[in-house]
């Protein structure tokens, strides 16, 4: 029983290690890129469209609708970032039904990388929206005394993002492994099904939280009666 797929090393040469996390991340990237390339290669605008095009359109419009509901007008701008996060985490978690697959999100390295992307992207979107000076001024709200607490909250929510996804995925794999040794007949299947549900919820939560943080960073004081 291993704690994370980092410990499964397929090949190493000097300081370079090829562990299960990297290999499965590459496999996921390959599946996502080639799959969407194949589907978007022949898009149709007419009434007859392939079922895969419908599938992708449902996903994209669904994500865009969710981003808009969080309070970000003009969701097309954030669709690339938040949609990528959601699709990667969701496919990484849903592929756990394939035997012999370890989700790369069950490794703290992957989730830390994703959380760092959010950590960097949030100030960038905030600065782009309201300018450097106004963005930095938002750290002084409501008073100057709150400055260290605002910075701490920025750091701790990044840590929380990383550890939450890692803990959920790792606990799913761990519970299935423990149950296999105690009751190896039916219960592991039930817990794996529960793990699939948790994986989808975590993917949703990860992307929604990223959207919420971006929405909080770009909150400009709206004039009275203005149309957003």
Partner 1 sequence: MDSTTMIAMASIATAGLTIAIGSIGPALGEGKAVSTALSSLAQQPDAANTITRTLFVGLAMIESIAIYCFVTSMILIFANPFWNHVIAQTAGK
Q: Closest approach of Cβ 67 to partner 1, in Å?
A: 12
Which of residues 3 and 31 has its CB atom nearest to partner 1 in the complex?
Answer: 3
Query: Does residue number 71 form part of the binding site for partner 1 (CB under 8 A)?
Result: no
Query: Does residue number 36 form part of the binding site for partner 1 (CB under 8 A)?
Result: no
Token readout for 36 is 């969407």
Non-local CB neighbours of 180 within 8 Å, separated by 6+ positions: 188
At 13, is the secondary structure helix, strand, or coil?
Answer: strand
Tell how many helices (H) and how many strands (E) occur in the chain. 6, 2
Continuous H helices in 71-186 = 76-94, 108-137, 147-182
Q: Closest approach of Cβ 101 to partner 1, in Å?
A: 21
Query: Does residue number 212 form part of the binding site for partner 1 (CB under 8 A)?
Result: yes
Query: Does residue number 168 form part of the binding site for partner 1 (CB under 8 A)?
Result: yes
- Tell which one of 166, 188, 195, 217 touches partner 1 (CB under 8 A): 166
Q: Closest approach of Cβ 45 to partner 1, in Å?
A: 30
Which one of the spans 66-74, 129-137, 176-184, 216-224 is the region binding partner 1 (CB under 8 A)? 66-74
Q: What is each CA distance from 70 to 126, 135, 210, in whole angstroms?
A: 16, 20, 10
Which of residues 138 and 198 has its CB atom nearest to partner 1 in the complex?
Answer: 198
In the chain, the N- to C-terminal Cα span, in Å, equals 52
Cα(72)–Cα(63) distance, integer angstroms? 12
Name the site residues for partner 1 (rule: CB under 8 A): 3, 66, 69-70, 160, 163-164, 166-168, 170-171, 174, 201-202, 204-205, 208-209, 212
């Amino acid at each position: 029983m291993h704690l994370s797929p980092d410990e499964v090393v397929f090949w190493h040469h000097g300081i370079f290690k090829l562990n299960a996390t990297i290999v499965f991340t590459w496999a996921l990237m390959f599946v996502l890129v080639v799959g969407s390339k194949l589907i978007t290669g022949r898009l149709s605008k007419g009434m007859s469209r392939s079922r895969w095009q419908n599938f992708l359109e449902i996903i994209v419009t669904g994500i865009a609708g969710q981003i808009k509901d969080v309070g970000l007008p003009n969701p097309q701008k954030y669709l690339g970032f938040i949609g990528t996060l959601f699709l990667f985490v969701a496919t990484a978690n849903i592929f756990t039904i394939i035997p012999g697959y370890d989700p790369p999100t069950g490794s703290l390295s992957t989730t830390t990388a994703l959380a760092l992307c959010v950590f960097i992207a949030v100030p960038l979107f905030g600065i782009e929206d309201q300018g450097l000076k106004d963005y930095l001024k938002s750290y002084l709200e409501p008073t100057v005394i709150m400055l260290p607490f605002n910075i701490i909250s920025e750091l701790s929510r990044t840590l929380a993002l990383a550890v939450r996804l890692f803990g959920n995925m790792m606990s799913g794999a761990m519970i299935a492994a423990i149950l296999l040794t105690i009751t190896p007949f039916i219960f592991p299947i039930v817990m794996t099904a529960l793990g699939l549900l948790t994986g989808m919820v975590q993917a949703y939560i990860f992307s929604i939280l990223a959207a919420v943080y971006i929405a909080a960073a770009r909150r400009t004081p709206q004039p009275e009666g203005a149309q957003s």
